[in-house]
């Protein structure tokens, strides 16, 4: 649960957001759901594929890298989508890893995670909090008269009697039993380390990535991404080119 201090200008959660991210299932899914592919059709696609490719079995929670000649050069345990659903004000999220064919469209090291809206929706629900958005160009007057506002890309509070006081960028923003969602582009909406050291982008918010949560590997734990251990994601980053195909069944 969240708590806050009224003696100073800061509202703090019991868990800093960085710690929450280490333990939570993370990925930023697109609002548009991917086209559904049946398990049987997806498995046929994977078995009949040729060329250099990645193959992932959701049932086995395992990933293979296969050369064009059919040799398997890497086999890794993975974490997959947890399979839950979330609704909020007409929006729907489905946290499955999508079956079918995709391509690696980009890859990078030291990825920064930008928490999507569903993360704040879920956090508010789990902690019995209301949810509100902070608009970049307009402050919010809190119950005690202070203003929640943004300066130089950081959310903070101020009043007629005190100067702007920046809030910690690695903690949730909670005032008046409300979780405030910082706008994209602020430092409060950027999290380093949640995706591990490397990321391969499969499009529509789905990723192959690392994790600080080692115990989650081999389980259904993510919001749709495919999560790997440190050595395995580094190998993929070093050896899988942009454009490579991935078959998920």
The C-alpha atoms of residue 227 and residue 196 are separated, in whole angstroms, by 9
pLDDT at 22: 40
CA distance linking residue 19 with residue 71, whole number of Å: 40
The predicted pLDDT at position 136 comes to 87
Q: Which pLDDT score is estimated for 240?
A: 98
3-class secondary structure for the chain? CECCCCCCCCCCECCCHHHHHHHCCCCCCCCCCCCCCCHHHHHHHHHCCCCCEEEEECCCCEEEEECCCCCEEEEEECEEECCCEEEECCEEEECCCCCEEEECCEEEECCEECCCHHHHHHHHHHCCCEEEECCCCCCEECCCCCEEEEECCEEEEECCCCCCEECCCCCCEEECCEEEECCCCCHHHCEECCCCCEEEEEECCEEEECCCCHHHCCCEEECCCEECCHHHHHHHHHHCCCCCEEEEC
Report pLDDT for 1.
Answer: 27
Name the pairing type of β-strands 53-57 and 245-248: parallel
pLDDT score of 164 more than 70: yes
On the question of pLDDT at 7 being above 60, the answer is: no
Question: Which has more pLDDT, 34 or 120?
Answer: 120
Of 154, 153, 158, the closest CA to residue 141 belongs to: 158
Q: Is the pLDDT of residue 23 over 80?
A: no
pLDDT for the residue numbered 12: 43
Give per-residue pLDDT as tens, 41-100: 999 999 999 999 999 999 999 999 999 999 999 999 999 999 999 999 999 999 999 999
Fold designation for 39-114+192-248:
L,D-transpeptidase catalytic domain-like (2.40.440)
Q: What per-residue confidence (pLDDT) applies to 163?
A: 94
Residue 97 confidence (pLDDT): 98
50, 214 in Cβ contact below 8 A? no
User: What's the confidence (pLDDT) of residue 31?
Assistant: 46
Confidence label for 35 from pLDDT (cuts 50, 70 and 90): low
Answer yes or no: is pLDDT of 16 > 60.
no
Its pTM stands at 0.84
C-alpha–C-alpha distance, residues 71 and 17, integer Å:
42
**Both structure tokens of 111:** 């990825």
Q: What pLDDT shows up at residue 26?
A: 61
Q: So where are the chain's domains? A: 17-26+118-189, 39-114+192-248
């Amino acid at each position: 649960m969240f708590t806050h201090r009224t003696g100073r200008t800061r509202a703090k959660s019991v868990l800093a957001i960085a710690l929450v991210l280490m333990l939570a299932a993370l990925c930023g899914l697109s609002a548009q759901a991917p086209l559904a592919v049946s398990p049987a059709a997806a498995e046929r696609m994977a078995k009949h594929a040729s060329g250099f490719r990645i193959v992932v079995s959701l049932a086995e929670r395992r990933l293979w890298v296969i050369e064009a000649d059919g040799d398997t050069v890497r086999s890794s345990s993975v974490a997959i989508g947890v399979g839950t659903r979330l609704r909020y004000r007409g929006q729907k999220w489905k946290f499955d890893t999508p079956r079918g064919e995709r391509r690696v469209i980009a890859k990078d090291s030291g990825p920064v995670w930008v928490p999507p809206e569903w993360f704040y929706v879920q956090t508010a629900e789990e902690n019995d909090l209301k949810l509100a958005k902070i608009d970049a160009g307009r402050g919010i007057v809190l119950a005690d008269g202070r203003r929640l506002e943004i300066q130089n890309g950081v959310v903070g509070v101020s009043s007629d009697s005190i100067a702007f006081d920046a809030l910690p960028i690695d903690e949730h923003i909670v005032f008046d039993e409300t979780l405030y969602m910082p706008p994209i582009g602020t430092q409060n909406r950027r999290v380093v380390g949640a995706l591990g050291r490397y990321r391969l982008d499969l499009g529509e918010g789905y990723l192959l990535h690392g994790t600080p949560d080692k115990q989650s590997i081999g389980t259904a734990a993510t919001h749709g991404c495919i999560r790997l251990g440190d050595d395995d994601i580094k190998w993929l980053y070093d050896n899988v080119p942009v454009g490579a195909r991935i078959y998920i069944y």
